[in-house]
Structure 1
């Protein structure tokens, strides 16, 4: 059923309100939208009249969102972002063959994008957009067709396809390996250990897995695999890194395996998509290609 006109304000009114709500200033909103202050004020007043509800408290030429205005601004912002993304996607590929994919930053940079030329060659009419998402998100609030995710399979409102497991291995600079002379898993405790914030117990699990005391493990923290790798390559310590993501760097010799002692991570790589997008033709093409590429990766 079509919503009454009252509940479908024009985009210009919503844009004026969203800018003022975000900046907390009519003046800044006017500058952002290339309008006069009076024009922005009129648009916000017109929106309030249409809704029959005050969105701002006005006092001494200052504005402050009402509680209802705060909730409305959050919802409107998400809606405007979806409209903007849809317009950009249409501009990029008017035929509609577009897939917007969320990927973990390091996986996207070191594994996926290096293989995408094969997908583009096989499907030149498809426009693939990649967005970095280091953590899980809500498909209902993000303009994403699908996501590659590492961790547990459960994702509310989504279908999930398992892709592959992950093996981590201790990696360090050659000079650091020579300095500490690693021979057994126990020797690792003598070196600085580098940690990833999203996997805070990884070293404890690796040490326990290889029969070493896992108590009192400390070291520098990093929030991305990419910076964790650079720290290891710079000789700051030993890092546990997914071997398949850093295979090229290991072959080049900038870093080496501190010890040939791998451990399978608890999580799993999955391709996830909203249930309502399951029949999206471009998603089906990418899904089949991704499964085949994963099969080619040791």
Structure 2
């Protein structure tokens, strides 16, 4: 006779595995950590398999736990999706959107009112984080990433390949000699972006000069430095130098005349921007609507007429 495990025990296993702790699982399930531990221990006794290694305050799945967790996570994700649909008559739509920190703090946050104006009230949780994003733990519905290699287990779609443009404020350009060649930028104040380990494939000023057949000297590293694309763009807007900015971020400012492209030499990025949607979210109407709107916003910036004359 087949033993049917306790549904509450399975729920405790899924929550503990996803969060990595009995305490976090207890907060999610609104029971004590001791109760979570008891439910899991009872389930392990029932099925005759150990599912967790208990290491200090954390728990790690055993081989048996790793084997069953993907199916268990999918099952409870589907149950949560059904619960959302059943309650949609009395609740607003909700959406968890994950993007890189630079996209979240200056780009997407300023555009979200446009989506709400078109589609009505939506409870949006906007998360700024680097790859890899914890899709299952945080129930992420949409993720914008640089490159398509981060999430092979989910549906990933290439949107567009962007480029970087050497941009500065009009008054900064007016104070300097005309930028008549790539080498003439060597004497200007350059603003550098420290992409960090996760952004190693993004181009630097050294890459930009090399692509223009210019060999910079050791002074290339002088100048201001920021640890995000948007921060570097703000420095350029303030008239402090020239930065390499993605079209995604600088199109609006170039259209408005707040920034100008200092020299017509553009370097294409090595990877495309991609949108990833987990299977559990793909059929939700609010996810489909946001995805279509999000793609349009990205394409509008990257293919902006104000940048069309400077394509690689």
Q: Where on the TM-score scale, by shorter chain, does this alignment land: which range?
A: 0.5 to 0.7
Shift of 1:9: 7.2
TM-score of the pair, normalised by structure 2: 0.61
Deviates further, 111-120 or 259-268: 111-120
Correspondences of 1:34-45 after superposition (within 5 Å): none
Per the TM alignment, residue 215 of structure 1 is displaced from its structure 2 partner at its CA by 6.2
Specify every segment of 5 or more residues in structure 1 that has no aligned partner in the other structure, as ranges. 23-32, 36-45, 58-62
Please name the residue that 1:246 is paired with: 250
What SS class does the counterpart of residue 141 from structure 1 fall into?
A: helix
CA contact (8 A) 1:192 1:238 kept: yes
Q: Deviations over 1:116-138 (max 9, x none)?
A: 34432332264433221233324
Of the three residues 111, 118, 124, the one matched with 2:120 is: 124
Contact 1:160 1:271 (8 Å CA) reproduced: yes
TM-score by length of 1: 0.64
RMSD over aligned Cα, in angstroms? 5.2
The whole-number CA distance in structure 2 between the counterparts of 1:65 and 1:126 is: 35
Which of 175, 184, 203 is the aligned partner of 1:187? 184
Sort the Cα spacing of 1:293 and 1:169 in 2 relative to 1 into closer, same or farther, 3 A. closer
Helix, strand or coil: the match of 2:265?
Answer: coil
Shift of residue 226, structure 1, vs aligned partner: 1.9
User: 1:157, CA displacement in angstroms?
Assistant: 0.6
Residue 269 (1) aligns with residue 273 (2): yes
1:272, distance to aligned residue in structure 2 (A): 0.8
Q: Cα–Cα, structure 1 residues 187 and 157, in superposed 2: closer, same or farther, change >3 Å?
A: same
Using the TM superposition, give the Cα deviation of residue 212 of structure 1 relative to its aligned residue in structure 2, in angstroms. 1.1
Structure 1 CA distance for aligned equivalents of residues 205 and 241 of structure 2:
13
Q: 1:172 to 1:137 in 2, by over 3 A?
A: same
| Residues 1:144 and 1:174: Cα distance change in structure 2 (over 3 Å) | same
Evaluate the alpha carbon distance shift between residue 115 and residue 200 of structure 1 in structure 2; reply closer, same or farther with a 3 A threshold.
closer
Equivalent position of 1:25 in the other structure: none
Could you say if the C-alpha distance between residues 161 and 7 of structure 1 is closer, same or farther in structure 2, counting changes exceeding 3 Å?
A: same
- SS of the residue aligned with 1:128? strand
Superposed displacement of residue 182, structure 1: 4.6
* Aligned equivalents of 1:158, 1:65: Cα separation in 2: 25
Q: Which residue, out of 214, 237, 242, partners 1:212?
A: 214
When residues 291 and 175 of structure 1 are mapped into structure 2, their CA distance, relative to the original with a 3 A threshold, is: closer
Query: Gaps spanning 5+ residues in structure 2: where?
Result: 22-29, 33-41, 47-51, 305-312
2:136 partner SS: coil
Q: Tell me the distance in 2 between the aligned counterparts of 1:162 and 1:67.
A: 33
Give how far 1:169 is off.
1.0
